[in-house]
Amino acid sequence: MKFHEAFDETLKENGISAKWLAEKAELSPATISEFRRGKKSLGVENFEKLLYILPKEVQEHFQQKIFINSTKDEAEDIRTKIKSMSTEELSQLIMVIGQRIAETDKLQKV
């Protein structure tokens, strides 16, 4: 599953509109809509901005979709997914992993 597909599904499943997200991220709704359809790249900085705006449970839902697509990709090896990712998708993945590590470290220190 591509990042834009996982992101689109996550927003739909959590009732988050492009308009709301655009206002919070200070991006145009058209930009977000084009990214959701795979027509436009956001870049790592804008993607990171969008991800941090989402509620924590929605962020986790998105992260799960990237690695565990509950449909046809369920048994797909993670290495195969990574090999098929574009450079931008790999950058976004690294950012998501870094965020998750930081959260885990923060919880362990408490």
What's 58's domain CATH number?
A: 1.10.260.40
Instruction: Report pLDDT digits (tens) over 42-65.
Output: 888 888 888 889 998 998 888 888
Banded pLDDT at 110 (limits 50, 70, 90): low
Q: How many folded domains does the chain comprise?
A: 1
pLDDT of residue 84: 84
Contact call for residues 46 and 36 (beta carbons, < 8 A): no
Instruction: Report pLDDT digits (tens) over 72-105.
Output: 454 456 777 778 888 888 888 888 888 877 776 6
1 Cβ contact list (under 8 Å, min separation 6): 65, 66, 69, 73, 81
Higher pLDDT, 37 or 66: 37
24's enclosing H/E stretch is helix 18-25
Domain boundaries, position 18:
3-109
Q: Interhelix angle for 29-36 vs 43-53, to 10°?
A: 100
pTM (2 d.p.) = 0.64
Banded pLDDT at 14 (limits 50, 70, 90): very high
Residue 54's Cβ-count burial label (10 Å; 0-12, 13-18, 19+) is buried
